[in-house]
Structure formats: structure tokens, C-alpha cells
A and B are shown apart, each in its own frame.
Chain A
Amino acid sequence: MRKTTFRIIILLSFTIVILQSCYPGEELTYSDTDIVATFYNKDVNFATKQTFAVPDSIIRIDENGNPVSDPGPFDQQILNKIKSELLALGFAEAAAPANADVLVIAAVTTSTWASGGCYYSWWYPGWYPPYPGWCYPVYYTYKTGSILIAMLNANANEAESGLWIAGINGLLGDSNTSTSSRINRDIEQAFNQSPYLGDGK
């Protein structure tokens, strides 16, 4: 009897270990889903790029890929943040776009995604006897927002037009205040992880 009890205790201990999730990740907040990716043209000497121009508006694209004329609530904030980051790197704002070494443009798009998965249950609802391991499907939708920032060569005579691009992506659905701070943080991150932009300045 003593041995059986002992074995039960051991079995329960190991069962607790086994029943832990396969994927022990923590819960994510909206801002946790933000990613910032940057790419650059390795053949470009950024020390030769000293002045920039930023258009007054942002390119907005709807979910079908069509341009949207209405401005968004964060457009001006995005433009201001891009300018301040360029200035912080040592760029100077050109008096006119024609005088700039680089043009920096921004585009914003949102997408609604539908997804699904398998929810495992002790038994499949409505079935008897229980069928362990069965799952029933779950469907959900989520909305993502993306900001693209592209630095283009303003001198059309040079072969390389695309110099640098940043892509920012994350889940939407938070409050406007949170979205605003996420935009600032992520644009700042895009420039921080691209220190070569400040070469020679």
C-alpha cells in the first residue's frame, strides 16, 4: 500500500509536468506584435546623401490596394517623426525637393485578416463517448496596420533609385493614444537600427 501511494505521488508529479503547454509563451499585448524591418542598398554611400525632402502627405492604400485620398489621423505625426529622425541623424532639410539628395516617402495601409485554428478539447462537444485529441475549429479576424518608409535617390541620373526601406507592422485595435506612441516608438526604432544612414554627417 505504501509503495502504491508512493507511485501515485510520482505519477501525479510527472503528469503535472506533462500537462504543461507545448508552447509556453506569454500572452501578447497589441504593442508586443509590432515589428520593424529595415533593408538598405549596400552599394550606396550614404555619406553622399546630405539633404532630404519629405512630401506633405502620406500615400494611403485601402485593403484592396486602391489609393485613399482622405488623410488619416496619424499622417501628420508620421511625417513629423520621420523629419525629426532624419534631422537627428544629421540630414538637412532641402529648401525645395529639387535640391534634395534623397526623397523620403511614407505609405500606410491596413488589412483585415481572417484566420482559424483547431481548438483541442477533452471531448468534442455533443459527442459521447469522449474522443480525446479531437478538435473543433475556431475562426477569428484581426486587423493589422503597416507603415512603409522609403528613401529614394532624388538624382534621377544615378542608377540606384531605392536606397533604404523600413516596414513597420503590428496589430491594430488599441486606443488612439497607444497607437500614437507605438508609431513614434517604431519609427524611431527603424532609424536607430539603421545607423549607416548617418554616415558622414
Chain B
Amino acid sequence: MAGATSAATLRLRFASYLVFLLLVGLVLLLDVGPKLRPETDLLALLPATEHDPSVNQALREVSASLGSRVVFLVGAAEFGDARAAALRFAETLRESGAFSGVLAEIAGSGLMSHAPYAAYLPALVSDRHLKMLRAGESQRLRHEALRALYAPLPMPSAVPVAEDPLGLANAFLLQRLPSGGNALPRDGVLTISDHGLDYVLLTAQLGGGAFASDVQDRALAAIGAAEAGARQAVAPRPLRLLRAGLLFHSAAGTRQAKQEIALISTVSLAAVAALVLLTFGSLRPLVMTMTCLVVGTACGLVACYYAFGGLHLLTLVFGSTLIGVAVDYSNYYLHDAFDDPASWTGERALRNTTGGILLGLCTAALGYLALTLAPFPGLRQMALFSAVGLAGAAGCVLFLYPLLAPRPKNPRPPILRAVLALYAGVAQLRRTRAAGVLLLAVLAAGVLRLTAQDDIRLMQSSPPEIVADEVELRRLVGNTPDSRFFLVRGADAQGVLENEEALRPQLDAAVAQGAIGSYMAISRALPSLKAQREARELLERQVYGRGGILEGLMRELGFAPEAIAQRREAFRQVPAPGLEPAPWLDSAAATPYRALWLPQGNASLVMMSEVRDLAALRAIQVPGVVLVDKVAEVSELLGRYRAAATRLLVLAYAGAAVLLAWRYGAKRSLPLIAGTLGAAAVTLGVFGWLGLPVNLFSTLALLLVLGIGIDYVIFLQEGAGGGHGPLLAVMLSAATTLLSFGLLGFSQTPFLRSLGLTLLLGIGCAFVFALLGANLRSEES
């Protein structure tokens, strides 16, 4: 490219880059390293669903509170064993300090504990009774009350008939009990019987976020100890333990990702090392290559840490494939020596390769940076990590290598022979051009069969045993909350309760129609002050007041006049303005509901179980209420971004075509452009024929295919007519790249797998097409 660079300039660059690297190293060691706790929340990689900020804030609180819940079922053939083991289990968890709350015994949350309500009971009514009073149906209410008193079936009652002759207070107190699914209280714990086993239900709240790796470690250790203790408590009789919670998924994800990082980087590094050693037969190039990779990784880490305030574990998984790409520049530079070993100097290599490296870096970086256009925090991290990492590695090659570059010991290493043989083999393909073109056309025709799949649930996976445990637990417990829920907001706590009360009649209708199994809402247990005031006015007029039904009913039953006066007095004594949230929330009566009340106090959740008709729920329109369906929202977003990424892909390929045409002229660039496009078409075609659906991640991977594939084209074209250096460089680069992306194709995380597969196929094709498009000496001279 440019003329010879003076030795002084080279030394200056070397020194400056060394200082830069020293700084990066210091920052990494002193600031980033100690604070870096890789994020493991998969959802953190996904875009925030597009709600207004207050909804997003509320949703974050929701997922934090629901996400830190862990549920266990401890089962044994004898109930006594299950109970003893469960209590022992709970005790161990409590002692561990890893959990902020462990609930085994249910005392205090039942019907009989109505402490916060006591003074307000004469003025509290159930939904059903409120509806009757609103409709002026007090005679019907009186008739029902009388019938209930004569009914052959006693209903549970917290208040004696003498204090609640109309059954209003008892109906309210019953309404506030959440439906417990299949679990029933027995000897102070919640229990479920199934297939000859008795299970005891335990719930625990993590002492921190389920995604923090230190919280995970402590909680899992505590659970392990608790399990051992529980089993010991009933030994030698067997115990069945089922568990469910985000904790187990995220911990498994962390473990999986760590294993994958270790595997991918070890295999890639080993392959790079082996190839470098085979080629150069000496240690110095190996050390240089490794330095280049370490520098790339360090730069990527530091950049991501400062840009995003943290790093996701999956970024590291994806980043570990960077090894295969970053080594390209190093290879390209080092292999220049094979062109004319006798007259080779580091300065000459620099002159020969600077253009290619910069062009390659630009296109790859453009490819990666295109990924950042999608508002996916995860992709942005991966893209920045890769782009900065590559730049750091390229810097190493351009600034450090010239003063270090070794001359190859053996100018014709055995590996060169293998590479040339492979190239000759590929070149043979040119002779069967017609058949080849036909084959490619057939493969590419698979594009017509392509399907898309954007369901987020299919893009993440958990180990089957965790999923099986959870499915079994959900079946046993019965009405476990659905992932879809209503978020209710209001100006203040009362506003939230009032909006909930506007929503509830519609949910009651949904239950009656079978659209949902049941629902749970705070306002069932804590009516808004407005509703309490309304109930009070209605009761005054139709029940307690002159001519109200209370007097007539009590007389008919045979109560003394003083008893009637007492009831009226109790009603008058109900404190204004009514039961307020604060004392209620502090009481045991609120225990089952506390998780539904968001800490800020201006939003609540309405959870549902057994959602059967989503459309009916979507049709519900109440001010301040939104139906949150995170899975559907994220899937829909993924689909939209896939469409956007596809348009971006078309643009990027067009840009690359223009670049190639500008650099190599219309005629020479035509086969190169065809090869580049062909690689993408064949990849998509193979997906189509195999019935593999494309998703956002495979589309974005094609952008990378372009970025990396074009490196090969450029390196081979820049070196055309020269020696074997570029060929050797491209071959070895492709080998390591395909190896690392190939490994990604075996990732346990489906979306990384889809990235890996696309890259494996796409880069494989791009590589072969680049070779076919190159015009190199195919035999040893």
C-alpha cells in the first residue's frame, strides 16, 4: 500500500500500542476484573417490551419478585414422613440465610385469622352481596340468608350467626381466601395427595435476584443441604422432592454457559495453537498469536463493561468464537512470509497486508455494528465485544507484529502441501461447473420452503429434568399462576384498588364463561375506600337502617331486641374511612396477596390460572389496566426485528457488492459478488430443505457471514498473483472459524445454536466460493 515505513515509526507505534495495552490491562485488573459478575438473565438479552416507562418499571419489579420465588413439594408414602421432612427442609433453608423467607406452616393465613378486619366487619360485603344491594335486591339477600341458616351443609364461618345473621361478614371473609388449587391444610401445612404419596408444599423467597451468580450458589448449596437433611430425617424410607422456580433455570443456564465457554475456547485455542505450530514450527508465532487473542478479548471485555455496565454470560459464549475470527489477521500477516521467505521482513509484511487487514476489519466491524441497530441489549453486547475485540487484535498485528515477526523455519511446511492439495481439489470443482451450478440452484431453491419461527420459548431451553420437575409440580399443585397477568396502575393505592374493582366484574364473567380458571386480586381481600363507603351507604339504607332487612330477619329467627340493637351499634362503630392498605399489608391476612402488591404502591398484579381463552382477556379494556403477555410480546418483537434485519441484510449485501465492484472492477467482481450472495442463498436453502425455521438470530448471523466471508475474498484477491501466503492464511483462518462456530452449533441454548449453524453453513460456503473465485497458482512451483 503506502511506501516503506521507517523503523523509527514502527518503533514509535510499537511503544504507543504497548502503552495502550498496558492501560487496558491495568483497567481490566484493577477496575473491571474485580467487579465483573456476568449477568445470567436471558431476558436481559432481549429488548424491553415496548410499554411506557412506568409499566416497564412495574414489570421489572414484578419479575424481580416473582423470579425470586422457589416452590418445593416434599413427598413421601406416609404423611407424617412428608411433614417431618418438609419442616426439616424448611428449617435448613432458614438457617442458611440464603432465603429471605421460607413458608411451610400456614398458621395465620386461614379464615379464622381476621384480625385486621375485626372492627370493619359489619360494613364489609362480598362482591355478590354488593351486587345485590346495588340492584336493591335486599329481599333476595334476606331470603338467601335464611335459607343458608337452614341449609344442611354448614359453611366455614369466622363470625357466629349472632354477630352476622345475614352472613355478610362471613361471605366477605370467605371471598378473600385465595383458591388454593389442590393443596389442602393438614396438621398446619399445605398438603396434596396423589398416587399414594402425600406431598407438603413449601415456598421460599430468595435473598437476592435469581440471576446473581453468588445468590445462585448460596441458594443451591442451602437447598442441597436441606435435601440431604430431609432425606436423612425419613431414611431409609424414600422421599420425593420436586422443585420449581426461575432459580433452577438460571443456575442451569449459568452452568451450561460456563461449560460452553470453556469448551469453545479450549478447542479453538488448541486448534489455533496446533495450526500455528504446524505452519511455523517455532514458538514465537504461537506466542504472538495468543497475545493477539488475549488482547482482543481484553479490549472486548473492557469496552463492554464500560458501555453496558456489565457483561452477559452469553456474550462471553459468543465472544469465545471470536478466537476463530481474530486469528485471521494474525494468520494473514504471518503467512505473508511464505510468499518469498528469503527477502521477507516484518516491514514488508506490513506493507502487503495492511490494506487487506483494514478492509477486512472494516467490513467485519460493519457487519457486527449492523447488529447493534436492533435494540437487543444482548446482540449489542455481542457486537460491541466482537468489533472492539477484532480492532484490538488487528492493532496487535499492525503495531506489534512488525518488530516481532519471525521468519518461518521451514519455508515449505508440510501443512502447505495439504493446503495446496485442498485448494487443487476445490479448483477441480470449476471443471464440473454445470453440475455445480445446478446443485447450488437446487440447494438455493430451498429458500422457497423457508419458514420463520419467532416464538421466544423455542429459543431458550432448560435441562429436561428441571422442566419435568416443574411440569409435575404444576400438575400436582393445580392452579399455578399463568405467565400472563394484568398489571393494574393508579395514581395511588386507592386508585389501584378502584381500577382493580372495575376490572373484576369482567374477570368474574371470564371465570363464568370458562375463559380462565380463577384469578387472584388484592381488592377481593382489601376493597377500596370508595367501595367500602358505597357498601356502607347501601347497608345503612337496606340492611341496618329503619325498615332494613336486619331487624325483620333477626326477629323472625327469635333474637332478642337487644341483640338487634347491638348489631346496629356495631355497624355505627365501624371506624371511618374504612380499612386502609397499611395495617392490612402488615397482617397475616395479607400473606397470600403480598407478592401482588408492588412496593411502590401504585401498581398491583392480578394473576390468573388456567388461561383458556386469551382473546377474551385481550378484549378487556379498563383504564389503568394492561394485560401483560411477555412471551407473546417478545415473540412478536422478534418477528418484527427479523423482518427489519432481513431488509438490513439486503442493504448490506448491496453495499458489499458496491465495495467489491469499486475495488476490483465490474468484470472481476461479478463472480465474487455471486459467490458472496450464493453463500447466503445456499445457507437459507439448506435451512429450507431441512425444515429448519429461520429466526432473528439466523438472519443476523447472515450479516456476519457477509462480514467474515468477504475477508476471505479480499485476502485472496489482494494476494492474487503472489505467493502462497494468503491462501495458507485463509485456509487456516477458515479452519479455526468453522471449528469455533461449528462448536457454537452444538450449544444447548437454541438461539446460539441457530447462530452457530447459520455461520457454519454460511462461512463454509463463502470459503469455498472465495477459493473458486480466487485465481491462484494451484500447484507447487
Binding between chains A and B: no
Q: Report which A residues bind B (CB closer than 8 A).
A: none
